[in-house]
Amino acid sequence: MSKPFGAVFAIVSFLFIAVLSTGALAFDAKKDLSNQQTYDLMVKGELILIDVRTKPEWQQSGIASDALTITMQDPNFLTKIAQIRLENPDKTLAFICASGRRSSVVYNELKKRGYKNIYSVFGGTTGNGVAGWIKDGFPVVKYEEN
């Protein structure tokens, strides 16, 4: 199994387990950023926000302003994240999904691979028992395909 495929398989496997978990997510300051923290760091130019949802999700709800869109299902996901890190070694990388579950999976996988200065955005875009990016009133733009 090639490394990129193996990595995607591992991420998808973790995602499956995370989705099966019915418990509410709990904020963990070691791995999570609040919407406000994320937004503040973005405004300061210190953070790159990466939306890991799917294209239909981006189209349905829009994306956080200035977020990059890289679905975690992309076979080149890890390569793209590595390139972003290479080009921005001093910036925080934060991952956002719909509820915070998938972004937590991405966070955990990248931590295992040695990534530092990364976070998951707690509550995600639409929330899961907590207010998400949209409900909290943070800026969202219509998804435009590149």
Q: Which of 8-12, 49-53, 102-106, 117-121 has the lowest mean pLDDT?
A: 8-12
Measured distance CA(40)–CA(64) in Å, rounded: 13
If one counts every other C-beta atom within 10 angstroms of the C-beta of residue 69, the result is 19
Q: Which H or E run includes 136?
A: none
Q: Which of 3-17, 40-54, 126-140 has the lowest mean pLDDT?
A: 3-17
Q: What range defines the domain where residue 48 resides?
A: 3-141
pLDDT in tens, 98-125: 999 999 999 999 999 999 999 999 999 9
Measured distance CA(88)–CA(140) in Å, rounded: 23
In a domain, 122, yes or no: yes
Helices (H), the chain: 3-20, 35-43, 55-61, 77-87, 101-112
Taken as a whole, the chain contains a residue count of 146
Q: Are 81 and 95 in contact (CB under 8 A)?
A: no
Measured distance CA(129)–CA(65) in Å, rounded: 23
In a domain, 28, yes or no: yes
In a domain, 146, yes or no: no
In a domain, 50, yes or no: yes
In a domain, 62, yes or no: yes
> Which domain CATH number covers 66?
3.40.250.10
For the chain, how many structural domains are there in total?
A: 1
In a domain, 39, yes or no: yes
